[in-house]
Structure 1
Amino acid sequence: MKTLSLALIVSPVVLCAAVLAPAHAQSDVYVCMNGDGTREYKNTGETKGCKRVDMQGISMIPSPYKKPVVQTASFSRPAGPAASPASPGDFPKIDSGTQKARDTDRMQILTEEMKVEERKLAALKQDYNNGEPERRGDERNFAKYQDRVASMKDDVSRTEKNIEALKREIGNLK
């Protein structure tokens, strides 16, 4: 059993080594079938049942050098005006009237989403009752009640974060 698993691990390693070896080490590679049906890669085909593997020469072309991009963990906006990347000449242009209409539509959608989230937050806070919501009849076990309270607290927190994000988006449009 150990030789079988070792042969399964070693044979791909030997194949990779044979394929990736430098030019002076490139010689014939043979795949041989053992008596138990496992494959074994060898550099000689003296054993019965070995077949030569035709391996094309590997040509390696180096990629052009690119300066690595360093990313920072800063989430603040840069101090100066951001340089916009140049767009191709055939890139479609949008006239200012169309863009203003789109911005107005976006502002309206964000405002409606904000109202919906604020109504949702008010309902969640009412149900949450400052961390002490009413117990339901199916919550005989106190752990179930605590799980529901924790879930409600998470919902309130998530909705507050959604409202903050919507306010930021609306602020960016102004």
Structure 2
Amino acid sequence: MTTRAWLFAAVATMQVAAVSAQERVVYKCPGNLYTDTLTAKEAAAQGCKTLEGAPVTVIQGPQRRGPAPSTDSASRGADSRVDPNDQRSRDSDKRRILDAELRREEERLAALKKEYNGGQPERRGDEKNYQKYLDRTAELKASVERSESDVAALRRELAKLPAP
């Protein structure tokens, strides 16, 4: 290849690179928005600056999904209604389960209150250190309070159910 042909090829390559670089101008706009879809006039109007130097890496964000399907009773068809007998059966099952849970929780609460002994639980042999006793007393108090709130919540749930 002659020097002239070599020079011509180098100039042509540089022109192609310059044209492609002009087509892919990246702008940094306010709010950390990087874009290459604006024209020079639009970029200037929005206060964007051209980004020169380091290449820009673009990471695709997650795809946006449409609105979630509605579960309103109005949007459901009449076919999706629960048979009244099935609903009564479900309610009685729920009442039976909640009653069983309430009985277990009340028994647990009674045992915890007996062990707590009004804030003065009996000391164990492994509690020679008084702080261990105080820690166990605090844990028992928290357990009693938690169990009382569980019993109250179960009673509220039972009160919401229709009478058997």
Aligned equivalent of 2:157: 169
Aligned equivalent of 1:72: none
Aligned equivalent of 2:43: 25
Bigger radius of gyration among the two: 2
Pair 1:89 & 2:105 matched: no
Q: Quick one: which amino acid aligns to residue 104 of structure 1? A: S
Q: Quick one: which amino acid aligns to residue 86 of structure 1? A: A
Structure 1 alignment gaps of length 5 or more = 1-13, 30-41, 45-49, 56-83
Tell me by how many angstroms 1:124 deviates: 0.4
Which consecutive aligned stretches of 4+ in structure 1 deviate over 4 angstroms post-superposition? 20-23, 26-29
* CA RMSD, Structure 1 to Structure 2 (Å): 3.2
Separation in structure 2 between the aligned mates of residue 158 and residue 54 of structure 1, nearest angstrom:
53
Percent of residue pairs identical: 39
Q: TM-score, length-normalised on structure 2?
A: 0.59
Structure 2 SS opposite 1:137: coil
Q: TM-score, length-normalised on structure 1?
A: 0.56
More helix per residue: 1 or 2?
2
- Residues 72-115 of structure 1, C-alpha deviations (whole Å, 9 max, x = no match): xxxxxxxxxxxx75132276221101110110111011111110
Pair 1:104 & 2:92 matched: yes
Structure 2 alignment gaps of length 5 or more = 1-27, 59-71
Give the count of matched residue pairs: 115
Aligned equivalent of 1:148: 136
Aligned equivalent of 1:43: 52
**CA spacing shift, 1:97–1:85, aligned 2, 3 Å:** closer
